Structure 1
Amino acid sequence: MDMSYLKDMPIAILGGGAVGKTMAADCALQGKEVRLWDQPRFAKTNFLNIEKTGITLSGAQFSFFGFKRTGTAKVALATDDMAKAVKGAGIVVVATVAVAHEDIFRELIPLLEDGQVIHILPDNCGTFIFRKLMREMNCTTKVIVGAWYTAPYGIRVVRRGGVVTNECKVETRITTIRGCAMPETDTDAFMASAFYIPAFDAIIDAEGEVTISKTGEEFHHGFVRANTILDVNLSNVNPVIHVPGAVLGAAVMQNFDTVLGQEKKNYSLYGFALCPAIAEVQAKFWDEEKALAKAMDIGLCTVNYEDFFSRTTMYGKEYMGPDFAVPFTERYENFYGDGPFDLENRYITEDVPVGCYLMSQLGKKYGVATPVIDSMILLASTMIKRDLDKESKYTLDYLEIGHMTHEQLQKYLREGVFTAK
């Protein structure tokens, strides 16, 4: 698919947090015109002095093929005016938390221009909401809408003295990423457009590389085409890692300073909470996801049982190759300080009411038992004293797929044929 018309067009990045700010600098350092947008309530903090300081990329940037890009970049525009950010842009990257999607999409959709490509990362049902709102708002602009199952980095925005700086510390760069368009028939164009996003250069450089692990398993680097957008959502391993880790490891987090005598700022779920017992729960959680994907006739990324028994989990393979793992018997100081520092964190407040709840509902729709996933929702809700599933707006009806038969859902996912309720 020829998407070369995107080559010299600006990139608009929506979201001035860690992922958005890092992607903006990464693209600008490679010479792209980048417009960075954030909501007015966050822009004042996230864009403080950005026109003077630019955005600095630092950090170890570990990756299997050694790709690094460091330096300070100036973006063409940092604004809270979305119209200025997206006008004339070829690619629009949405890099915000899921709960912000609907408000952002309602503002974005009237501004769309024919030929634009929307990249949502991670998806967290964002493509369903985008297409739903396009129907609701009678938008017929011809755009491609797709998503990736994760962000291309492991990052933290540097804070000094309580101030959010314009330095993004990139610890890791991913070398493989799974994506798809909604509908799937647009995926060739969507995947081709990704080659015009310099923030994906570590993935682009790895495209087509195959590494053979010690066990003989083939590991494919580069862009991986998912089997429908539901594959992208179920392949997002954040819920299977974060939720059991945060719920079952809560004692370590809450006692980290008062009992264990450590500085709270050094806490890491990966470095201190994960353990063999939690890994067993994560593995069963993943088994339920595999059963669900099979029943729904969609794809799912490959995660092996042993991948859970590492402090780097399955993410280690994506960043550092198929044989990279840090056993629970070892300390791994690269994780120190990446949190979460309390239970009111996206590891719970996003991964439960969006990720886990979606799986639980699909399980009921398809007759697949999800007892571990359901227990995580119950325990998380109990611990933060809120009913996360009942409070969640991410019902199948909200996504406008709850009423569909299996055949109707497949037509919608693959061909974009929407069956109204």
Structure 2
Amino acid sequence: MMGDMEYLKDMPIAVLGGGAVGKTCAADMKLAGREVRLFDMMPFAENTLANLDKTGILLDGVQRNLYCFERSGRAYLDLVSSDMEKVVKGAGLIVVAVPAFAHEPFFRELVPLLEDGQVVHIFTDNYGTLILRRLMREMGCTKKVIIGGWSSAPYGTRIETVGKFVFPHVGVKYRAITLRGASLPMSDIDAFMESSKYLPCIDAVTYGNGPEAGITVLDTGFANINPVIHVPATVLGVSTMENWGVIFGGYDKNSYSMYCHGLCPSICEVQYQFFEEEKALAKAIGVGTPEYAYESFFSRRSVLTQEYMGLDKDGKDNVVFPLDKPSDEGNTGPNSINHRYLTEDVPVGCKIYHDLGVQYDVPTPVIDSMITLAGAMHKKNFFETSRYNLAYLGIDHMSRTELLNYLNEGIYER
């Protein structure tokens, strides 16, 4: 474990990923006064990075959070490039902000470029820490780097688009005031958490309720609220989504919001039972998971509200959006079943929960039903087609004791 992390204070920050989270992180940190470089991989970079050296990135939006932390403006980055070597070379902090299925190609390019002393932060982790460490072993990389991930992105954010045109503009709906993070191995956790103080994209967390250390990187997987919120609400609310702007006339199809229009008491009950299965998994394995009151699920933002508005002195949500009243608080989407709420959160998040249940003898019937129904909609069997399994994470052969030794101490049993 490294000691004082102040050496990161004046070092460049590399952001890998030119999507909404990557662009928002890059703009936010540049507006905070840091040297920031942004990378995206070809061929996506032709679209995602086009003209950013001339236009900069405009960051604005409501940025709702309990402490009213806000940072807006047009940020001109120090380097925008599809050459990862140029972006990563000499950087102290590396922010990975890409969807889960992009982790492996990004990591394969990153591993040979890693330098001693660098700290990698993955938003959202989604088991990326496990994949990166596996690839480092396979590719023979022995650089002394700290690797950790977070339960969520620092923001609810969207890029402005019209058709296929991507504007250099990100609108932040909310900023997290607390996030759950963990390092792999956990022997690096103090240094990882300390390094986050030099990462301005989570300043709303640092100066809010603060980051919370999870109990291993599996904890951050259980703390990722995307599967538990997105999947039941999308699968069980599919008729409203597909009829929006059709049978429910007078609406723009793109105005549909899973939160505002899809959630209802019965779906929220399924979300709660889904999370109870996650808690049982965490307990059986011996890792951590967040705690949510039953009542917190029955709101138009579900348990997400806690991430940016926090709890009161009695442990209840500071803000509740009642299910029996309309709300426009939620982000729009999804507009079809071909959306990451299903195409990522089912074959990644739900599938790993299922596989952990099989490995450690914990039944997951609600989670399994979501995988089955989403697969039926997509005319595929996600149990069979998803590459996300315990072997892909490098932990399929481990007993519970061996797994905990790896997660906590980095002792890898072959």
TM-score (norm: length of structure 1): 0.95
The Cα RMSD (Å) is 0.9
Q: Distance in 2 between matches of 1:181 and 1:134?
A: 15
Cα distance in 2 for partners of 1:239, 1:405 equals: 26
Unaligned runs of 5+ in 1: 207-220
Is 1:320 the counterpart of 2:315? The answer is no
Q: Which residue number in structure 2 is paired with residue 418 of structure 1? A: 412
Distance 2:110 2:352 in 1: 25
SS at match of 1:62: coil
What's the CA shift for 1:161?
Answer: 5.7
Match of 2:153 in 1: 151
1:389 is matched with 383
- Alpha-carbon offset, residue 394 of structure 1: 1.0
Q: What does residue 241 of structure 2 align with?
A: 253
Q: Which secondary structure state, in structure 1, belongs to the residue aligned with residue 393 of structure 2?
A: coil
Work out the CA distance in 2 between the residues paired with 1:111 and 1:303.
40
SS in 2 for 1:166: strand
**Alignment partner, residue 215 of structure 1:** none
1:252-401 equivalent positions in 2, closer than 5 A = 252-261=240-249, 262-322=251-311, 323-335=318-330, 338-401=332-395
Q: Distance in 2 between matches of 1:161 and 1:132?
A: 38
Paired residue secondary structure (1:326):
coil
Deviation string 1:37-96 (CA, Å, 9 cap, x unpaired) is 001111111122211110011111110000000100100111110000000000001000
1:117-156 matches, within 5 Å, as 117-156=119-158
- Cα distance in 2 for partners of 1:342, 1:191 equals 38
Moved runs in structure 1, 4+ residues, more than 4 A? none
Give 1:307 shift.
1.2
CA distance in 2, matches of 1:79, 1:311: 39
What does 1:402-417 correspond to in 2, within 5 Å? Answer: 402-417=396-411
Task: Tell me the TM-score normalised to structure 2 length.
Answer: 0.96
User: What's the counterpart of residue 212 of structure 1?
Assistant: none
Stretch deviating more after TM superposition (154-163 or 254-263):
154-163
**What is the aligned partner in structure 1 of residue 315 from structure 2?**
none
In the alignment, which of 41, 44, 56 is matched to residue 42 of structure 1? Answer: 44
Counterparts of 2:240 and 2:349, CA distance in 1: 24
Amino acid at match of 2:136: M
Secondary structure of the corresponding residue to residue 392 of structure 2: coil
TM-aligned CA deviation for residue 272 of structure 1: 0.4
> Structure 2: how far apart are the matches of 1:306 and 1:189?
36
| SS of corresponding position for 1:169 | strand
C-alpha distance in structure 2 between counterparts of 1:86 and 1:31, whole Å? 18
1:386 Cα deviation (Å)? 1.5
Number of aligned residue pairs: 405
Deviations 1:296-323 (A, max 9, x none): 1111011221111001111111111222
What letter corresponds to residue 205 of structure 1 in structure 2?
Answer: Y
1:217 corresponding residue in structure 2: none
Shift in Å at residue 200 of structure 1?
Answer: 0.9
CA distance in 2, matches of 1:161, 1:229: 37
Out of 82, 86, 110, the residue aligned to residue 112 of structure 2 is: 110
**2:219 paired with 1:231:** yes
- Matched residue type, 1:396: L
2:270–2:366 contact (8 Å) kept in structure 1: yes
Is 2:237–2:262's contact at 8 Å kept on the other side of the alignment?
A: yes
Conserved? CA contact 2:116–2:144, under 8 Å: yes
- Cα distance in 1 for residues equivalent to 2:186 and 2:164: 44
- State the shift of 1:387 in Å: 1.3
Counterparts of 1:252 and 1:180, CA distance in 2: 37
Aligned residue in 2 for 1:51: 53
Structural mapping, 1:77-226, within 5 Å: 77-160=79-162, 162-206=164-208, 221-226=209-214
CA offset at residue 334 of structure 1? 2.9
Cα offsets for 1:318-352 (capped at 9, x unmatched):
1112221101111111326x201110111111111
Partner Cα separation in structure 2 for residue 407 and residue 20 of structure 1: 36
